[in-house]
Amino acid sequence: MRQLLSGRLGRVRTGAHRAAGPDGAAAPVEEENLWGPSPVIEVRSLLKTYGHGDAAVRALGGPPDPVTGVSPGVDLVVEQGDMVAVMGSSGSGKSTLMNILGCLDVPSDGRYLLDGIDVGGLDEHQLSLVRNRKIGFVFQSFNLVPRTPALAQVELPLAYAGVKAAERRRRALAALSLVGLADRVDHRPNELSGGQQQRVAVARALVTAPAMLLADEPTGNLDSHSTEDVLAIIDRLNASGRTVVLITHEDEVARHAKRVLRLVDGQVVADVRQAPVDGPPPALRDPAVFAAHAPHALTSGGS
């Protein structure tokens, strides 16, 4: 497993150089094998329970079958280049799913293959490599490292990956200019607005050219204008081929996704495709029509 992992990580690392170009993101290059490009995420009968026995809480996987006593679990496949929005009310298990997909938490049962790697068989150090190189996180509460200027913030994942200082700086600057913050590189989190902080977080997430961008309610703490900015960046990233998984409870955000999953009580109850996997996300497919169908006056400030 270690060998497979390092081989794949190596491939991602070479891909990272392409991400530093002016468009900031690379088209996914997957070696063609017999089965076609492997999905970025492949989840089979995933379960997550907290506690034991009678006190056990099923956060993910749904209630047990009354006959067999086995929970059905969550099955999910996300293809390369897709943009998936996971929706659900609070307590529906979407954050638990996000934590497992982001390798921050381990499932109680089930298999999770990230970019072809079985994450369940990895040790602590290998998991940190996976988080560093395969996943870019964007959190609702920004989660920037305190007292650290934007540039150092974005350089941090590269520093953990062992990239040399000059190369790191170049790539971090490219990522920051991609999110439109080239003039804010020396600002600390407390000197940036919420929208700017979230854009720094997006730059930090994409600087390592990860296999997927994982965003947990990325616009939950933002005003409408900043929401538009951040979503526009995410749309552009997806248009250039980056796989995106969004967690949200806002229809306005879900409208941007190519595919919408709805979670209720830890189970996928609806799976709607809004746009094909190949091709631009809905917002960029026909911007005028997309804007006209806005449910409320949200887009007036973001045009």
Partner 1 sequence: MNPFETLRFAVGGLAANKVRSGLTMLGVLIGVAAVIILLAVGNGSSQAVKDSIEKLGTNALTVSSGGGFGGSSAATSTKPLTVDDARALADPASAPDVESVAPEVTTSQTALYDGTSHSVNQVVGTYPAYFKASNSKVAKGDYFSADDVLNSRKVAVIGSTTATDLFGTASPVGRKIVIGGTPFTVVGVLDTKGGTGFQDPDDTVIAPLPTVQNAFTGFGPVSQILVEAKSADATTPAQNEITTVLMSQHGIKDSSALDFRVSSQASLLDTQASTNKTFTVLLGAVAAISLLVGGIGITNIMLVTVTERTREIGIRKAIGAPKGVILGQFLAESTLLSLVGGGLGVIGGLIGSRFTIVGIKPVVIPESVVGAFVIAVAIGLFFGSYPANRAASLRPIEALRHE
* Chain positions contacting partner 1, by CB under 8 A: 99, 102, 104-105, 124-125, 128-133, 137, 139, 143-148, 156-157, 159-162, 204-205, 208
Residue 129 or residue 277: which is nearer to partner 1 going by CB? 129
Q: Give helix 194-206 / helix 224-239 axis angle, nearest 10°.
A: 20
Residue 104 or residue 182: which is nearer to partner 1 going by CB? 104
CB of 161 to partner 1, least distance (A): 7
Stated as kind and residue range, the H or E segment containing 114 is strand 109-114
Residue identified by tokens 């293959």 is: 113
Dihedral of alpha carbons 67, 73, 75, 76, sign? positive
What would the DSSP string read from start to end of 265-284? TTEEEEEEE-S-SSS--HHH
Q: How far apart are CA 48 and CA 63, in angstroms?
A: 11
Contact 224, 189 (CB under 8 A): no
Residue 69 or residue 146: which is nearer to partner 1 going by CB? 146
Strand partners, 243: 212
Among 203, 187, 199, 148, which residue's Cα sits nearest to residue 24? 203
Taking residue 35's Cβ as centre, other Cβ atoms within 10 Å add up to 7
Residue 22 or residue 146: which is nearer to partner 1 going by CB? 146
CB of 144 to partner 1, least distance (A): 7
Residue 78 or residue 144: which is nearer to partner 1 going by CB? 144
Residue 132 or residue 226: which is nearer to partner 1 going by CB? 132
CB of 124 to partner 1, least distance (A): 6
CB of 231 to partner 1, least distance (A): 22
Residue 51 or residue 162: which is nearer to partner 1 going by CB? 162
Supply the DSSP symbol for 55: G
Q: Which residues contact 42 (CB under 8 A, 6 or more apart)?
A: 76, 77, 78, 111, 112, 113
CB of 149 to partner 1, least distance (A): 11
CA atoms in the 13 A half-sphere facing the CB of 260: 17
CB of 194 to partner 1, least distance (A): 17
CB of 251 to partner 1, least distance (A): 27
CB of 219 to partner 1, least distance (A): 19
Residue 214 or residue 222: which is nearer to partner 1 going by CB? 214
Contact 99, 105 (CB under 8 A): yes
